[in-house]
Every structure is written in structure tokens, then in C-alpha cells.
Amino acid sequence: MSNDKTLTKRRGFLKASLAVGTGVSGALTSNSASAQSNTFLEIDPWTKTQGATFVNPPYGLPSKYEKEVVRRLPNPAPIFLTASRTPIQNLHGIITPNGLHFERHHAGVPDINPDQHRLVVHGLVDRPMIFSMENIMRFPSESKIYFMECSGNSAAELKRSANNTAQQIHGLISCCEWTGVRVSTLLQECGIKPQATWVLAEGADGAAMTRSIPLSKMLDDAILAYAQNGEMLRAEQGYPLRLFLPSYEGNMSIKWLRRLKLGTEPWQTREETSAYTDLRENGKALQFTFKMEVKSVITQPSGMMKLKSKGFYEISGIAWSGNGKIRRVEVSTDAGKTWQEAMLQEPVMDKSLVRFRYPWVWDGAPAVLMSRAVDTSGDVQPTMEALIKTKSANTFYHNNAIQPWQVAANGEVTNGR
Ligand code: CO
């Protein structure tokens, strides 16, 4: 109901500004001012000259006016640069451009010649095999749009960090179209021995990143990915070959994949014992917490932005869940006292980001904006208090708590936690 009311106001608002031709709100003031000084219809210099005949360099780049839209480090920047974050507050729709996909690596980015790269499959298989990239790319392929989230995304917020932008806080999330071969196709080629239940995946980077993965996951929807958004993987995304495990914590989607070994139990590698475990109150840690849970964040407006005047704003953000599809996203503009249903923009896909939008008229009073996602399994995104209560105050990974953005009377938006 409240959605409808806001929409009605919005129509009225747009009608008024078009009819009168002067900005009712500051958002339109600059255009209106130009119109009044008769400069609006003047011919700009770029219309009077021949444009560039072809783009240089041949691989196109964003406009120079978009140079602030880049991956950034968290605040404060760590001594060892191991992760950079996606500028989610500057992106539209659901796809992350390849040059803006977040990065996380443990020993830098290796420079791998694809002609020399090999994937070994061994252990509990009938026929151990070595595949070249050429071999792998001859198999039937598939392309799917999936989100990828680092399990450490938003982790610093559990202790209320110095981070303030959506990018700094939640930028270890991206979403791309991934192309490759189903792991099941390759494993069938090798023949899976009946007693096999786990698979070891190892990267060719200096860290030899290694994780144990249930065979059931590998046979379900795992991909050996070589392309991303229509082109070969970027070096920092695992060129020339990576594992991609939809909905699982990003660390398990081993980049620069060089080995798969089938066995009967997990290998207890460094990255599943000393890290990527979830410490509980009793001092014990949960291992093998794979799935990224239901989550959403408002990206427009968000931290460090400024609303220039009262009036209409479209609140917009992204939601996702490792359980499957997003069923609903609710938005609150009064710090969670009341919630209204946001519009989910098509396509709404399994294990993908979905874009939600909600029309809002800001009356100029301080406000707290929040979003809360619900997935098809019925899971509801928790508040930070609820998350700490159900999990632990020691929680570091898997923070999917609701993000509040505080809007001050002067329009400044800050982290409301
Ligand atoms: Co985990």
C-alpha cells in the first residue's frame, strides 16, 4: 500500500517539474537553471567536431569521467595487499564488469602460459588423466550467471570498523556470467570409483591454495571455468582455469586450478583448519561452513553519498542467497520499525545477484535505511544482534547481517551501525 502511495507521489512530482520547467527539487535544479539561461540547447564543442574514428587502445576502456569507479582496498589498508573490493555503489543491474570483480589471493597473481597449463585428475578414479587447456575446451560447455562472495565479506563490521562505503564494507561480492565445463563431465571421463566422497582442489599459485570439496557438490553444479562475461578469465580470476562452486564461499572456487584428487575424507588443509573456520563461544570452531547465506545491501544511496535535497529517490540495491533464489526484499526507511516490499528486477535467478528497487520521497528529516532479504528456503536476513546471538560474538566469516545507512538532515549518508 505504502509502495502505491509513494508511486502516486512520484508521478505527481515528475508531472509538476515537467510542466513548470523549474526544479521542484534540487535534483533537477542544475538542468532547470541551464534552461533558464538558454544554454541548454546550445551546441556543445563535441558536437561541432569529428569524433575519434576508432577507439585507442583497441580494447575499450571506460570513459575518463568514470575514473573513480575502481576496485579499492579496505580501510585501513592491510600491510599485505591480498584483497580488493568491488565498487558496488557505482554499479547498475547485476553484472560485475571483469575489471571490477573483487580480488582475493594468497600469494599474488601467477603469470600462467595457457599452452603450458595442465589439470591433473587422480586419486579414486578409474583413469587418472592430465588435461591441457585445449583438451578442456573441447568438452561441451555451459554459461551461467552466478554471484561470488568471499566468506570474509563484511567481516570487519562485526567489530564496527572504520569502513564507511558500501564498497569498503561489502565489496567482496561480485556477479558474472561464467563459462566452462561441468566438473561432472570431466570426472565421468576419468571414471569415479564408488568409494570416493571428497575432492581435493589445488591451485598453481605460490600459495598452492588447496581446499576439500564434497564430491556431491562437484557432481551437482561445479564448473571448470575458463571464461567470464564473454572473454577468457582475467589473470586475477584464475586464468586460464578456475574451479567455480556456485553459492559456496569464494575461497573454495580454487583459481589457477592444476589438480583434482578424489578421496574418502577431507584433507584438513591449512585453509580449512587455521582459517575459514567459525569460532564459537565454547572455543571450538565449526569447519566446512560452505554456503553463503541470504543477504542484501542498499547501494543507492549508501555510505559517504549525499542527498542534495528533499524529494524523490529510488532506493536500489543487490540481494543474493546461496540457498537459491531471492523470494522477497523488504526496505525500511525508519530504522526497521516498518518494512515495505521492494520490487525485484528481472531476471531473478538461482545463486545470482538480484537488483531490488524501492521508490522513496525523502522529507528532509533524519532517516535510517535498511534492506532485508528472504530466500526461497524461507531464510530471513538477520539483524547484527540476532546474528551474534545465534552464531557467536567470535563470528568473523559469514556476516550476512542487515546494513543500516543513516541519512542526516543535511543529506549525508553514513554507516548506521
Ligand atoms: Co565458511
Mapping DSSP onto H, E and C, the string for 388-399 reads HHHCCCCCCCCC
| 252 or 73: which leads in pLDDT | 252
Residue 322 CA to ligand 1 center (angstroms) comes to: 12
Residue 48 contacts by C-beta under 8 Å, 6 or more apart in sequence? none
Residue 149 CA to ligand 1 center (angstroms) comes to: 11
* The pLDDT of residue 409: 98
Name which CATH class applies to 83-286.
Answer: alpha beta
Query: Which region among 35-49, 213-227, 268-282, 289-303 has the lowest average model confidence (pLDDT)?
Result: 35-49
CA-wise closest residue to 279 among 407, 155, 95:
155
Contact of 270 with 375, CB cutoff 8 Å: no
CA-wise closest residue to 299 among 257, 236, 355, 246:
355
Cβ neighbours, 10 Å, residue 218: 24
Residue 47 CA to ligand 1 center (angstroms) comes to: 54
Instruction: With H, G, I as helix, E, B as strand and everything else as coil, classify residue 130.
Output: strand
Q: Read off the pLDDT band of 5 (50, 70, 90).
A: very low
Residue 152 CA to ligand 1 center (angstroms) comes to: 9
pLDDT of 34 higher than 90: no
CA-wise closest residue to 381 among 354, 363, 402, 403:
402
Kindly give the pairing relationship between strand 118-123 and strand 257-263: parallel
Contact of 217 with 211, CB cutoff 8 Å: no
Residue 214 CA to ligand 1 center (angstroms) comes to: 14
Query: Which region among 36-40, 62-66, 178-182, 259-263 has the lowest average model confidence (pLDDT)?
Result: 36-40
Residue 278 CA to ligand 1 center (angstroms) comes to: 7
Vertex 408: Cα angle to 405 and 411 (nearest 5): 95
Q: Read off the pLDDT band of 212 (50, 70, 90).
A: very high
Contact of 119 with 253, CB cutoff 8 Å: no
Residue 252 CA to ligand 1 center (angstroms) comes to: 9
User: How many whole angstroms separate alpha carbon 346 and alpha carbon 151?
Assistant: 26
Phi, psi of 85 (to 5 degrees): -115, 150
Residue 247 CA to ligand 1 center (angstroms) comes to: 11
Residue 254 CA to ligand 1 center (angstroms) comes to: 15
CA atoms within 13 A on the CB side of 413: 24
Residue with cell 601467477: 110
Please count the helices (runs of H) and the strands (runs of E) in the chain: 7, 23
Residue 250 CA to ligand 1 center (angstroms) comes to: 9
Residue 112 CA to ligand 1 center (angstroms) comes to: 29
Residue 26 CA to ligand 1 center (angstroms) comes to: 46
| 31 or 367: which leads in pLDDT | 367
C-alpha separations of 335 from 8, 332, 406 in Å: 24, 6, 9
Domains 83-286 and 295-415 share a fold: no
Residue 375 CA to ligand 1 center (angstroms) comes to: 19
| 14 or 105: which leads in pLDDT | 105
Query: Which region among 38-42, 119-123, 324-328, 397-401 has the lowest average model confidence (pLDDT)?
Result: 38-42
Residue 335 CA to ligand 1 center (angstroms) comes to: 29
CA-wise closest residue to 169 among 150, 141, 148, 142:
150
Contact of 217 with 322, CB cutoff 8 Å: no
Residue 291 CA to ligand 1 center (angstroms) comes to: 7
User: How many whole angstroms separate alpha carbon 368 and alpha carbon 280?
Assistant: 31
Residue 18 CA to ligand 1 center (angstroms) comes to: 52
* The pLDDT of residue 23: 38
pTM given for the model: 0.90
Residue 248 CA to ligand 1 center (angstroms) comes to: 8
Residue 286 CA to ligand 1 center (angstroms) comes to: 8
Domain map (residue ranges) of the chain: 83-286, 295-415
Residue 338 CA to ligand 1 center (angstroms) comes to: 32
Instruction: With H, G, I as helix, E, B as strand and everything else as coil, classify residue 14.
Output: helix
* The pLDDT of residue 64: 93
13: which DSSP letter?
H
pLDDT of 15 higher than 50: no
Residue 224 CA to ligand 1 center (angstroms) comes to: 21
pLDDT mean over 308-322:
98
CA atoms within 13 A on the CB side of 178: 29
211 burial via Cβ count (<10 Å: 0-12, 13-18, 19+): buried
Q: Which residues are in the CB-under-5-Å shell of ion ligand 1?
A: 151, 249, 289, 397
Contact of 163 with 157, CB cutoff 8 Å: yes
User: How many whole angstroms separate alpha carbon 335 and alpha carbon 164?
Assistant: 18
Q: Which CATH architecture has domain 295-415?
A: Sandwich (2.60)
CA atoms within 13 A on the CB side of 248: 22
Cβ neighbours, 10 Å, residue 30: 11
